[in-house]
Chain A
Amino acid sequence: MAGVLLSRTEKVFIIDGVKDEYRSDGRSTIDYRPMELETNVVSHASGSARLRLANTDILVGIKTEIDVPKPDKPALGKIDFFVDCSANATPEFEGRGGEQLANSISNMMQRAYQSPQAFDLKQLCIFEGKQCWKLYVDILILECGGNLCDAVSLAVKAALFNTKIPFVKAALMDGGNIDLQLSDDPYDSKLLDVGSAPLLVTLCKIGNKCVVDPTAEEEKCSSVSLIVGVTGNRKYYSDDDTEELPAFQPKCSAISMHGPGSITTTTLRNAINQGIIAAVCLDEALGKTVVRERRDIEKFKRHSYGFLK
């Protein structure tokens, strides 16, 4: 990121450290820095989450709207990602500076959520071929401290977990048009099944090894990073532990490369494997956190921190 200047010796120190699997802050190659997550922070959105990972600050709000499904996919709902890089994040984002980055993140999210095994759009269907829910996922980058993709995917999954969609009380068929009556009661709503939603893991190539969640200094030492989207495990996101779920195998829902460098085949293989291991750990941690938070909200035990912490 901007403003980090490293001398050659500092770079050598980091690169040689990673070679022997040592990082300057003591993490292993698949460890993340500590994060803060709070859900249900925006009252006007159907679901929201705020995530802070080191200096990266992300706010995600989800709005729902009734829409007509695509003719070739009549039984599926829609989901749209929109990333906004605020000029507060770094001065580089001023004007149209952040547009390219924003596009690449929203593209990556769209691709990762494309497979029904990652996110099932059938749950957004209201009337097949007539009406469906459309989710607008608005991602606001408040502060940019590197590793944006990972933070965005975590915050989006938490916000989707928190999203409530009102039940349809009655429907009136008038000719071909449908008039829906939605429930006014905020508690009379359904939650989305987001257990399998993918998390993106950025693997930063330093030397011949890859590290996840690079610091700004580590990012300076690398010319290319691999972004791997890995589907989540439903088990970590279900409320009752008794429910039987089929055996879980993490799958890749999207892979992409970022940066001007290139990698060898062996590095690619190792990186994909490493990314999946990191994603499974991360998914478990996120699942536990959001489920605990939901329980706290139900029991009115939760302290709301907002942005004041």
Chain B
Amino acid sequence: MEGRPRALLERGLCSAVDAQWLMMMMMMMEGRDCLKSYDEVYSGLFDEKGHRKDGREMKEARAMYARGNFVSQAKGSSYIEMNKTKVVCSVFAPREISHQNEFSTVGQLFCEVKFAPFSCHLQRQPHVPDAEEKALSVALRKALEPTVCCHLFANFQIDIFVYILENDGACLAAAITAAGLALANGAVPMYDIITASSIAIIGDKMFIDPTEREEHLALSSPETKQNHGVITMSRMHGLKQIADFRQIGSLDVDCILKATDILEEECNKIVPKIQMILVRYINNGIIQQKKLAEAAKEREAALKIKMKEWSSSIIKISD
């Protein structure tokens, strides 16, 4: 593929800048279908049966794998995988806010979202956070603020790091759910479990839990005046409150309200899974503690026997 622009350049048919540009276009073409027309890309989202490309129904979210205790160095951590979206989150113990002049009466959350350099089609710059990462970090902080009991650790901050290993759409929703799980796993005081879900809308079609292609198309420009956009909503299940609501695109009110209902349901569907994981960790913790206590008892008993032996032997020696 790269041969063609180079050949054009060698024959002097185009300038060096043009060849470079062509090459870039071709490289991108393989990953993103930017040279196809909008309709072609749109029809590419479905297979022959009218299902989505990965075999899901329109209303079907991807299966989720979630676990806690993923990073041994962190106080709390979690890992969430939704097919090709993979997210790691770690939470560290509260520490005093550095470089601050005034005393703050409520604690703060410091969130950082990072994409792995190999996470997307585009090569990302490591080290320097780009605009998307910054925006995601702010969104994550806004979503988590209502659910953490910030007043309990005045003048302290909790660090939350999210690392996106692979991004195939709905990464903010995955990040929020992962961070909620990691916070609970790290025993940070919280009001409620927080879960998030995302939806992409193109015309009258609603893609629940969209993949990257679906998300990308929902944000790009159709010629018509139809609805298009992406909504991410995070919800606190027990309190029945919406912690954060983000929408981009162009949608009419009825569509947004309908999507809100669907998202609410989707968020609720995740809650039992998260609860189950947390309960399992607590159970495991209790079992572990019992085992440790038993082991300690055994050791103590053994020690007592040894002590008796020693003391008797000491008495013997002194005799």
How many whole Å from B57's CB to the nearest CB in chain A? Answer: 25
- A115-B250, A262-B243 given as contacts; is B256 within 8 A of A255 (CB)? yes
Chain B residues with CB under 8 Å of A264's CB are 240-242
Q: Name which residue of chain B comes closest to A120, CB basis.
A: B221
Contact A272 B253 (CB under 8 A): yes
Contact A72 B32 (CB under 8 A): yes
Bound Cα distance A256, B229 (Å): 14
Closest 5 CB pairs of A and B: A116-B221, A115-B250, A255-B247, A262-B241, A262-B146
Interface check A258, CB cutoff 8 A:
yes
Chain A residues with CB under 8 Å of B14's CB are 175-176
Contact A265 B264 (CB under 8 A): yes
Interface check A276, CB cutoff 8 A:
yes
How many whole Å from A163's CB to the nearest CB in chain B? Answer: 21
Residue among B150, B246, B253 making CB contact with A256, cutoff 8 Å? B246
A 253-309 contacts with B by CB, 8 A: 253-258, 260-265, 268-269, 272-273, 276
How many whole Å from B40's CB to the nearest CB in chain A? Answer: 15
Contact B257 A272 (CB under 8 A): yes
Chain A interface, number of residues (Cβ within 8 angstroms) = 42
14 contacts between A and B (CB under 8 A): A71-B28, A115-B249, A117-B250, A176-B15, A176-B17, A231-B250, A251-B251, A252-B253, A256-B246, A256-B247, A262-B241, A264-B241, A272-B253, A273-B253
Contact A272 B241 (CB under 8 A): no
How many whole Å from A36's CB to the nearest CB in chain B? Answer: 31
Bound Cα distance A263, B239 (Å): 10
Known contacts A71-B28, A262-B242, then 14 further A-B pairs from the complex at CB < 8 Å, ordered by chain A residue: A71-B24, A115-B249, A116-B221, A117-B250, A175-B14, A251-B227, A251-B252, A252-B250, A252-B251, A253-B248, A256-B245, A261-B146, A265-B242, A265-B260
Chain B residues with CB under 8 Å of A117's CB are 225, 250
Interface check B302, CB cutoff 8 A:
no
**Which size class do B's interface residues fall under?**
35 or more
How many whole Å from A309's CB to the nearest CB in chain B? Answer: 36
Chain A residues with CB under 8 Å of B250's CB are 115, 117-118, 231, 251-253
Interface check B47, CB cutoff 8 A:
no
- A177-B15, A260-B150 given as contacts; is B257 within 8 A of A269 (CB)? yes
- A111-B248, A262-B242, A262-B243 given as contacts; is B138 within 8 A of A103 (CB)? yes
Contact B28 A255 (CB under 8 A): no
Interface check B21, CB cutoff 8 A:
yes
Bound Cα distance A290, B251 (Å): 27
Residue among A72, A265, A269 making CB contact with B240, cutoff 8 Å? A265
Q: Name which residue of chain B comes closest to A263, CB basis.
A: B242
How many whole Å from A49's CB to the nearest CB in chain B? Answer: 24
Chain B residues with CB under 8 Å of A76's CB are 221
Residue with the greatest number of chain A CB neighbours at <10 A, chosen from B18, B21, B24, B248:
B248
- A177-B15, A262-B242 given as contacts; is B138 within 8 A of A104 (CB)? yes
B 3-32 contacts with A by CB, 8 A: 14-15, 17-18, 21, 24-25, 28, 32
Mark interface residues in B117-142 (1 if CB within 8 Å of A CB, else 0).
00000000000000000110010001
Mark interface residues in A196-225 (1 if CB within 8 Å of B CB, else 0).
000000000000000000000000000010
Chain B residues with CB under 8 Å of A251's CB are 227, 250-252
Chain A residues with CB under 8 Å of B86's CB are none
Interface check A43, CB cutoff 8 A:
no
Q: Name which residue of chain A comes closest to B109, CB basis.
A: A260
Chain A residues with CB under 8 Å of B24's CB are 71
Residue with the greatest number of chain A CB neighbours at <10 A, chosen from B138, B147, B221, B243:
B221
Interface check B228, CB cutoff 8 A:
yes
Contact B21 A71 (CB under 8 A): yes
B 220-270 contacts with A by CB, 8 A: 221-222, 225, 227-229, 231, 236, 239-253, 256-257, 260, 264
Bound Cα distance A262, B245 (Å): 10
How many whole Å from B9's CB to the nearest CB in chain A? Answer: 11
Interface check A55, CB cutoff 8 A:
no
